[in-house]
Amino acid sequence: MFSIERSGSVAVIELNAPPVNALGLKMRQALSSAVHELEADEQVKAIVLCSALPLFCGGADIAEFRTGAVWDKPDLPDLCVTIETSRKPVVAAIAGPSMGGALEIALACDYRVAAPEALMGLPEIKLGLLPGAGGTQRLPRIAGLEVATRMILSGDPVKGDFALSCGLVDALFESGQDFRAHAIEFATRIAREGDPKRSCADMTVAHPDPKGFLAGFRTEIAPRSKNLVAPERCLKSLQAACELPLAQGLAQEKAGFAELLDTPQSRAGRHLFFAERECTKVPGVSREQRPRDIASVAVIGAGTMGRGIAIAFLQAGYPVTLLEATQGALEQGLDQVSKHFQRAADKGRFSPDQAEAFASNATGTLSYADLADADLIIEAAFESMNVKRQIFEALDRHAKPGAILASNTSTLDLDEIAAVTSRPEDAIGLHFFSPANVMRLLEVVRGAKTAPDVIATAITVAKKIRKLPVTVGVCYGFVGNRMLEPYFREGSRLLLEGAAPKQVDDVLEGFGMAMGIHAMADLAGIDVGARVRQERRSEIAHDPAYQAVQDRLFELGRLGQKTGRGSYIYEGQTRVEDPEVVQISKELATRHGVAHRQIDDQEILERCLYPLINEGFLILEEGMATRPGDCDLIWVNGYGFPDWRGGPMHYADEVGLPRILDRMNHYRQSLGAYGEMWFTPAPLLEELANTGVTLAEHFEAKKGTS
Ligand code: NAD
């Protein structure tokens, strides 16, 4: 767990508990005993706390939050007090990341030394929590109220040089071989010089107007923190740091932490945290699976998606070759890529040299022969099976053996595309989201024959280009768009039954969705959905009124934001209600024999969300997603589902599966033939609801047996 060595009068506690030196109960007990023992040792004049790993420490063992072991004694606040009140000065030596509880331990030390690239942060707010081991009390005393407030309320880390400038650390030493020696030297010196103890209990927060500052800050973050409970709790705790002695402030902070720990928002935050850690574990792909080397990338099609994909790779340092069908399209694509980097440099996101280097790493071609060296080729041409088949046939002829052949298709059958090649094991879907250089989500689509090392490579590369790779199976719409379909269907149907687009959107945005269904359809383009429906007529033919309002808007050329009119009228960016849409809905309702009625908000919410959740159950049953958390990551990162609700599947557990089942059955009956058509509960939902098992418990048990 850690070693203790002597260097003259300094005792060095070197943490060594891979992977992250987590501060679980055993570590806390051992550290606490070690500090007590060293305190009693007269030979020891100072203690250095450092790490043998590339990071200082990842902080609390958050699995303990679930089991309650977080409170087992000594808890983290106790350990901090043990360090702070030890008679021997303690120096934290931080090279690499030091997050959450780890930084709180460091704050309880008398001194902190760091490497310039060390990262220090209190990310608890991202889990719907506040730093509960003294972070809100010690950080403002040491680094000042303004720095502490910004760090705690953003959850973002600061680097060594900034930490030195604000007093968070006392000295910077280059990382590497001599770092530890410098830290020991530092400890030796402070032990030699006068009174080396520096407890936060003796410090106050120096600020001319803490109340005024915190009030201003509260106003500043109000738009971002609406719906969230943790920010206000953090601010209150920071205020306590300004007004109360340390011990009282710590007690208030601990109470706040305990309160937040039990909130749905914190459960949601922790669920997503674990989901992100788990999503790269893919059945049948061993952790030891060696990925293929990817040194160069080619993208076919330089349209909206191709350009975004190219930019994502270029800014991660990959050379990218763009292949287009015509010289004009190629030039336009390359020009857009180059302009993107120019704009990014103008905004200060990159230095001009860096932007130029990225842009000049892009080349263009009309010939497949120029893709012969590419390690990864991503097709982002038109969404047509014929086009994709031709492209993959050409790739089969020209790509080198072992090159990965990927498609960005959103709806087409990857296995059918892969089958035109002699190497379907090298084919994979990489479903980027628009704008591809911005959106973090990447659905990695595993075909029937995709080789495990191809999946491992996709995951590795995705991380390099800062994407969140979630592996899914081949089915219509994969996971994200498949769940989107019933959501959109209900949003549209509700118009026919009497709701206005704004009423539907207000309910969903009130729930926390980044954008309501109708605003989202207007943004994506009413034509996009209409064209997809035209292709799928046979599958939706049994519902003659399926998205009837949207189809009419399409016929009328009301394509959404791009034509200034869709479900709304657009005055610049502002959306304005359009009575004509209500009129259109009424006429269509009459034609389809659907009764127009008053619809309440609860029905809107349930009708939009529960079928989406039900689809998630079907997807999980079919194994198209590995675990509920994968569906949640997709919806939070690709579709604007509020992260503080943890994603649709986690939300279902929070609501209670019996309730979801009950309401599905309710609509199945009350909506007549329409309900019968679309509200059949998924067998897995029925099974779990009837046996009183949550989705999380079910998958946890499955994990145990697989
Ligand atoms: P787009 O029309 O903007 O761009 C397609 C580009 O491909 C055009 O520049 C076209 O000239 C080029 N092209 C067509 N046939 C070609 C060929 N045989 N060889 C080389 N280039 C060819 O389309 P888009 O929105 O970028 O979509 C591209 C793909 O990405 C589609 O499969 C689409 O389903 C998928 N997709 C789109 C989105 C989105 O939001 N737009 C999101 C995810 C996935």
| Closest atom of ligand 1 relative to the 411 alpha carbon | 34
Q: Which pLDDT score, from 0 to 100, does residue 538 have?
A: 83
124 is catalytic: yes
Contacts of 335 (CB under 8 A, 6+ apart): none
Rounded to an integer, what distance in angstroms lies between the CA atom of residue 641 and that of residue 652?
Answer: 13
Secondary structure of 218-270 in the HEC alphabet? HHHHHHHHCCCCHHHHHHHHHHHHHHCCHHHHHHHHHHHHHHHHCCHHHHHHH
Q: Quote the pTM value.
A: 0.93
Contacts of 296 (CB under 8 A, 6+ apart): 318, 319, 320, 321, 373, 374, 375, 376
Structure token pair of residue 679: 């509200």
Please identify every stretch of the chain with a pLDDT value under 70, giving residue numbers as ranges: 704-706
Structure token pair of residue 424: 């379907």
Nearest residue to 13 (alpha-carbon basis) of 189, 190, 184, 195: 184
Q: With b meaning 16 or more CB within 10 Å and e meaning fewer, what string describes 222-254?
A: eeebeebbbbebbbbbbbbbbeeebeebbebbb
Rounded to an integer, what distance in angstroms lies between the CA atom of residue 258 and that of residue 266?
Answer: 11
Q: Which pLDDT score, from 0 to 100, does residue 621 have?
A: 97
Report the relative pairing of strands 97-99 and 111-114 from DSSP bridges: unpaired
Report whether 302 contacts 315 (CB < 8 A). Answer: no
Instruction: Give distance in angstroms: CA of 299 to centre of ligand 1.
Output: 10
- Taking CA atoms only, the protein residue closest to ligand 1 atom 29 is 380
Collapsing DSSP to helix, strand or coil, 357 comes out as helix
104 is catalytic: yes
Instruction: Give distance in angstroms: CA of 368 to centre of ligand 1.
Output: 17
Q: Taking the alpha carbons of 59, 64, 69, 71 in that order, is the dihedral positive or negative?
A: positive
H helices, E strands: number in the chain: 32, 19
**Any bridge partners for residue 111, and if so which?**
91
| Closest atom of ligand 1 relative to the 390 alpha carbon | 18
Instruction: Determine which helix (DSSP H) or strand (DSSP E) holds 324, and give its type and residue range.
Output: none
- Taking CA atoms only, the protein residue closest to ligand 1 atom 9 is 303
Q: Which pLDDT score, from 0 to 100, does residue 237 have?
A: 98
Rounded to an integer, what distance in angstroms lies between the CA atom of residue 661 and that of residue 686?
Answer: 7
Report whether 569 contacts 575 (CB < 8 A). Answer: yes
Instruction: Give distance in angstroms: CA of 384 to centre of ligand 1.
Output: 9
Rounded to an integer, what distance in angstroms lies between the CA atom of residue 149 and that of residue 126?
Answer: 14
Rounded to an integer, what distance in angstroms lies between the CA atom of residue 208 and that of residue 211?
Answer: 9
**Of 331, 365, 382, best ligand 1 pocket probe by most atoms within 8 Å of the beta carbon:** 382
- Taking CA atoms only, the protein residue closest to ligand 1 atom 39 is 434
Nearest residue to 64 (alpha-carbon basis) of 81, 54, 56, 76: 76
pLDDT tens-digit profile of 223-273? 989 899 999 999 999 999 999 999 999 999 999 999 999 999 999 999 999
Contacts of 293 (CB under 8 A, 6+ apart): 375
Q: Taking the alpha carbons of 51, 53, 56, 62 in that order, is the dihedral positive or negative?
A: negative
Instruction: Give distance in angstroms: CA of 528 to centre of ligand 1.
Output: 13
Report the relative pairing of strands 2-7 and 404-407 from DSSP bridges: unpaired
Candidates 64, 124, 379, 603; catalytic one: 124
Query: Residues with beta carbon inside 6 Å of ligand 1?
Result: 300-306, 323-325, 329, 380-383, 387, 391, 408-410, 432-434
Instruction: Centre a 10 Å sphere on the Cβ of residue 157 and count the other Cβ atoms it contains.
Output: 18
Main-chain dihedrals φ then ψ at residue 48, nearest 5 degrees: -110, 130
Candidates 84, 104, 490, 603; catalytic one: 104
pLDDT tens-digit profile of 427-454? 999 999 999 999 999 999 999 999 999 9
Instruction: Give distance in angstroms: CA of 574 to centre of ligand 1.
Output: 29
